[in-house]
Amino acid sequence: MRLKYNKRNLRKINNEIIFLGLFFILSLLIGTFLNKIWSSYNIKALDNLNQMINHYNNDILVFENILPNFKSDLIFMIGISIFSFLFLTFPFSIILFMVKGISIGYTINTIIISLKLKSFKLFFITIFKNIIIIPGIIILLIFSINHIKEVFLQIKSKRKDNISFLSKRYIINALLISFSICFIQGLVNILFILFIKLFN
């Protein structure tokens, strides 16, 4: 019986991963589509990308790059955690996730169309800057979905005394997930910057 329950839970988690993964891919596609519609914004985006190229072509100070990225990633993850805490605000965390995907899709499409041969390095920079964060957001959203389900069941069964425990558990685990994901992403960023420095 317990084995069947675990299999059912694993199946649900797999379905949630697939759904959120497809949702992110859809966001990327929307970003590439918007890139074609809002072509007037490409000039500004291109200027920002050229500045980034010049930055990475010069001597890169590792910690000067890592700390701002770590802070922005952590703020984003904590934002997702806060919005995912309640059922009513959970859609905002999905919107944030979607905006992240649209932004990445828009940036990648601008890189490929505008920079052509120069885009190779910047393309991989964009990918590696998000390679841990995106799966991390998916993990956090799945954890949040399960938290909301548990709270809803407690309210339905009128066992409101457990909601305080579930809330504390959610806050602790959400912070642990956020810090862990951002720390791992920071390590990946350090390794990637060191790798770039070898070929500059």
Q: pLDDT (tens digit, 9 = 90+) per residue, 85-127? A: 888 888 899 999 999 999 888 888 877 776 665 566 677 777 8
Q: Which domain holds residue 157?
A: 2-198
CA 194/CA 94 separation, integer angstroms? 34
pTM of the entire structure? 0.82
Q: Which residues contact 119 (CB under 8 A, 6 or more apart)?
A: 111, 112
- H-type helices in the chain, by residue range? 2-37, 42-57, 62-83, 90-110, 119-128, 133-156, 161-198
Tens digit of pLDDT for each residue in 60-84?
555 666 788 889 999 999 999 999 8
The number of domains in the chain is 1
Is 61 strand, coil or helix?
coil
